[in-house]
Amino acid sequence: MLMLCARCQAVLRANVTASKRGEARSLYHHITRSIYHTGTSTLSGQLSGQALAQRGHAAGTTGRTRRINNIRAMGGVVEGVPTVSVYEAREMMGAGARYLDVRTTEEYSAGHAPGALNVPVFNAEGGRMKPNPDFVSKVEQDFPEKDQQLVLGCKVGKRSAMALQMLAEQGYTNLSNIGGGFDVWSEEGLPVEL
């Protein structure tokens, strides 16, 4: 559920009439996307007070932001390493960054960002997720230069945040986590390969 400031709530209420429900729904989605994509901090994906103030919003979070905040609460975000939106990740890839997809092989096979390399941080075994003991060595094999710009993504951001922490501990210096992960990537209609 999205919490909106009084101004946005008033705009939505004014547009919710029998004939304008579609417009209100469209406005609601516009507001949530705007807040999510442009009002996130570069550290944890939390809505920044300054970004909200610039847009005239007193308070608000999206479900995706709450999921990212839960990652932070679980210790999955590394200080000083940015969490980026899917749009920022796509721009970074266009400038030479590599997308490291840390989802399971099965998830990756069902769809992934173009050019993404899959190295699972966890493997699905017997209906449970088990840590991949070869994760770091496989990444070091595929990306021996530890200053290579890597954008890490998983389903929603939790596993990629953990993977990012593991790689940072091994000396990788140019890492970014995709806030919301592949779920947001595909929801936003960005390119997907099978």
What residues are labeled active site? 154
Residues 6+ apart with CB under 8 A from 59: 3, 5, 52
Three-class SS of residue 132?
coil
Write the DSSP assignment of 18-48 as a string of letters: TTTHHHHHHHHHHHHHHHHHHSB-TTTSPBP
Note the Cα 8 to chain centre separation in Å: 25
CA 93 to chain centre: 15
Residue 130 in 3-state DSSP? Answer: strand
Question: Does residue 128 sit in helix, strand or coil?
Answer: strand
CB atoms under 10 Å from CB of 38, counted, come to 12
Q: Report how far residue 168's alpha carbon sits from residue 154's, in angstroms, rounded to the nearest whole number.
A: 17
